[in-house]
């Protein structure tokens, strides 16, 4: 049996590279960022970046994919929780990963992430929507899903634009109450 444990130096380099590209994206347009810029900021050589990623697009795609997958796992682990409790798990994750989310939600080059985030929220709330009875009876399921996904993503964007001044638990409680009332 082989040991699949990743070398700490590799993890440290990958984390430095990820942090570097996100920091650079807060300073300039993604298209203007070069592999040299990333390498210099991460204090690694260009070859180290190419060892792990095809190019800057692959790097960004992998970072986005990692966070979307983490959010999906958090949803599944919180499936038995109320909206408030489940939202708290998400808002804590958002706060813990502030650099990524503030960059992805507040830069011009973040449209791809926003689309992925919206799709994730739609997928995760799909099981909650009931259009056969209750307050959403006879409403179009896709309209409901798009409405709530946009509301959730919009609330998260607003929270980051305003510097996370409201604690994650309060954001989770208030958005959870709104979801509970309407789904």
How far apart CA 121 and CA 131 sit, in angstroms, is 18
Tell which of 36, 53, 70 closes a domain: 53
User: CA angle, corner 97, sides to 180 and 148, nearest 5?
Assistant: 25
Q: How many domains does the chain divide into?
A: 2
Residue 9, token pair as written in the block? 């130096």
Taking CA atoms, 136 is separated from 61, 79, 128, in Å, by 36, 21, 11
> Which CATH number covers residue 119?
1.10.357
Give the C-alpha separation, 158 to 164, whole Å: 9
Do 47 and 120 share a structural domain?
no
Query: How many CA atoms lie within 13 Å of 175's alpha carbon, on the beta-carbon side?
Result: 26
pLDDT, tens only, 27-72: 998 999 999 999 999 999 999 999 999 999 999 999 999 999 999 9
Q: 34: domain CATH number?
A: 1.10.10.60
Statement to judge: residues 37 and 62 lie in one domain: no
- Beta strands (DSSP E) in the chain are none
What is the full per-residue pLDDT of the chain (183 aa) written as tens digits?
A: 445 677 888 899 999 999 999 999 999 989 999 999 999 999 999 999 999 999 999 999 999 999 999 999 998 888 888 888 888 999 999 999 999 999 888 877 678 888 899 999 999 888 888 878 888 888 899 999 999 999 999 999 999 989 999 999 999 999 989 988 887
- Domain hosting 78: range is 57-182
């Amino acid at each position: 049996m082989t040991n699949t444990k990743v070398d700490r130096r590799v993890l440290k380099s990958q984390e430095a590279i990820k942090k570097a590209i996100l920091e650079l994206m807060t300073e300039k347009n993604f298209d203007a960022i070069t592999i040299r810029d990333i390498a210099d900021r991460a204090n690694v050589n260009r070859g180290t970046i190419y060892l792990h990623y095809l190019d800057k697009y692959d790097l960004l795609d992998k970072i986005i994919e990692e966070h979307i997958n983490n959010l999906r796992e958090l949803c599944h682990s919180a499936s038995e929780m109320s909206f408030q409790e489940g939202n708290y798990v998400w808002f804590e994750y958002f706060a813990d990963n502030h650099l990524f989310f503030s960059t992805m939600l507040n830069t011009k080059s973040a449209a791809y992430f926003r689309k992925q985030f919206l799709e994730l929220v739609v997928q995760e709330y799909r099981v909650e929507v009931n259009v056969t009875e209750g307050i959403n009876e006879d409403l179009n399921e896709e309209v409901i899903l798009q409405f709530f996904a946009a509301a959730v993503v919009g609330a998260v964007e607003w929270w980051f634009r305003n510097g996370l001044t409201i604690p994650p638990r309060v954001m989770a409680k208030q958005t959870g109450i709104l979801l509970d009332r309407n789904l």
